[in-house]
Amino acid sequence: MVSGSNVKHIFVEHTGETKVQRVLPFSLPHPFNYGFIPGTKSDDGDELDIFVLSSRKIDVGELVNARPIGVLLMEDENGTDNKIISVESSDQNYTGVDDIEDIDKQLMNTITYYVQHNKDGIEGKFVKIHGTGNSSKALDILENVEKSPN
């Protein structure tokens, strides 16, 4: 999802394309760039989700190099659904940001609030936040995630 958008896209693996999954039914635009890590499979069967903090909007389908700085530990109606928190590697505004502790606490509060509430009002959907992990925890998750065939 593009920062500021309320349109949720999904990746269609067999075609290699993205498509609109839904337009969020409320006024809660996505606070940051959000997507998935190609070639991964998380516990819920989808690609591993990732927030990419950047000073720019990243277009749907655009591949960027990102540096993991932490993880939001959570589950939803499909099981474990952790979200990697990262910064765009080439963004000079995030030089020196190597861990979740390096970002402003309000940024993390905004991400957490959004994730807690982005399924509000959608029947059968829920989100449960278990906490956050640092860059080491994010790297551990990345090293142990199931790899999908490309």
Which of the 8 DSSP states describes residue 59? P
Question: What pLDDT is recorded for position 122?
Answer: 83
What confidence score (pLDDT) does residue 25 get? 61
CATH number, domain at 101?
Answer: 3.90.80.10
- Say if 12 falls within a structural domain: no
In a domain, 24, yes or no: no
* Inside any domain, residue 26: no
pLDDT in tens, 101-117: 999 999 999 999 888 98
Look up the pTM and report it. 0.83
Whether 9 maps to a domain, the answer reads no
Q: What is the CA radius of gyration of the chain?
A: 15
Lowest mean pLDDT across 7-11, 73-77, 83-87: 7-11
78: Cβ–Cβ under 8 A, 6 or more apart, which residues?
44, 45, 46
Domain interval for residue 138:
31-147
The answer to whether residue 121 is domain-embedded is: yes
Q: What is the pLDDT of residues 8-46, one digit of tens each?
A: 767 777 777 777 776 766 666 667 898 889 889 888 888
Q: What's the number of domains the chain is made of?
A: 1
